Amino acid sequence: MNLHKQPFGLLRKPSFDRAFLVSLLMWAAIATPVPAQAPRQSAVLQAPTTRPADGDGYLLGAGDRVRIDVFNVQEFSGEYQVLPNGSINLPLIGAVKVQGRTLEQAQNAIAARYRNVLQQPVITVSLIAPRPIRVAVSGEVNRPGTYTVPALSSDGNVPSLSRTIQLAEGVTQAADLRQVEIRRLRPVGQGVNEVIKVDLWDLLRGGNLQQDIRLQDGDSVIIPATAMVNLQEAQQLAAANFAARNNRPLKITVVGEVNRPGPYTLLEGAVGQRDQLINPNLLQVPSVTRAIQVAGGITQLADIRNVRVRRITRLGPPQVIQLDFWKLLKEGDVLQDLPLQDGDTVEIATATAPNDAELTDLATASFSPDRITVNIAGEVERPGAISLQPNTPLNQAILAAGGFNRDAIKKSVTLVRLNPNGTVTKREVPVNFEQGLSTGGNPGLRNNDIIIVRKSGLSNFLERTGQILGPFTGLINLFRLFTP
């Protein structure tokens, strides 16, 4: 038989040229076939990791397209696709199982099968088109579940951890980024599955790209809940590109010392012009101050040093985050204005001993009501309830009611105030329209204050005289009517 007319090694002839075989084996040892159209898998999918990789690390699966080269047998070489059952159909040897194998393992498996028909088969397997991978994301993300990620996106990016978290609509504010786990399937025959620990804070703050691990088919990403919320880190997390995007309403609840407690839906950008000037971050991340604003603002009984946020976690007990809004008001500590997430409950405690000076400062805070209601009774042009801005001076309230009428006592008025502790105070306040805001002569008003403007003594005398002489005056006028 002519050896040159048969595929290499189909016959195991004893008289085979030993020198030619040695030369062929040396060539196979030093030669590395390079595909003409597509790069090898290691060049396409390789990404930095925090551990040594086992070979190229890529596991073949249904949908992968590979190039198989059988040295010196062009009839057997070509492009093949891994079938849904995880095998590849090859000439002469039929189906070879490659599901869950690396490229090197697949080469060895195919070579082992070809040894039945070829002498010293030299096999090279290259990945041409990787299949989309399926990964599971659970824990503190907004949409946990299974996701299909392209192995190579149109912009040339590989399926990294951060991009996959973005597909799950970002991490929640309760996430512990230092304890992220990736549970990975090991190649066939290489033991139990492995767990890779990832510190995303090192990526976020230090720019360590090794933490942004390239994911593989079958990976499971678990993001646990943190045991304690760091206010500074909460602000940084809210601005991260893998945090939740506020493109949907947040359902929250506000209870305690607010004017309208209950459940609310926070919409992005739904803030007033004053709030934008005080805290521009309100346009980006719904925060505690916005929640209090939509609930009508705090009451006079609110203890702003004791504000709590109760947060439900997916993996762990609920979190209780303590805030001090007095630091926000007096020290400008914006870290106290915690970003909120869906399902949060904001609790405003009741103050045990309210301070008058603090109440005056609180009246103009962004989380206080925008308007107060003051009742003016007695001798003004338009008595009744009027709406004013917090801390409006008493003089301005009188003018808003039309000012004194002609029967009013213009030297002083009576101010009746309901205090937060339940008591009522009543005092006389001198009126001087030329005086500015002051505690004694022209105090700032609070919600539900009552201003009483009394009638002058002369007006009272004339009114009483008219009541007494009323019948006689009527008879005199009647007599004059019938007298010629």
For 128, the token pair is 């041409």
- 79: pLDDT strictly greater than 50: yes
The confidence score (pLDDT) of residue 467 equals: 55
pLDDT, tens digit, 9 for 90 and up, residues 142-188: 889 999 888 766 555 678 898 899 889 889 888 999 999 999 877 66
pLDDT, tens digit, 9 for 90 and up, residues 415-455: 998 777 677 889 898 988 888 777 777 888 888 889 999 98
Question: Among the residues of 295-355, which ranges form H helices?
Answer: 325-330
Q: 191: pLDDT confidence band, cut at 50, 70 and 90?
A: low
For 475, the token pair is 């008879």
pLDDT, tens digit, 9 for 90 and up, residues 53-73: 333 567 888 888 999 999 888
Question: 161-189: string of b/e by CB count within 10 Å (b at 16+)?
Answer: bbbbbbbbbbbbbbbbbebbbbebbebee
For residue 42, count CB atoms less than 10 angstroms from its CB and return exposed for 0-12, middle for 13-18, buried for 19 or more: middle
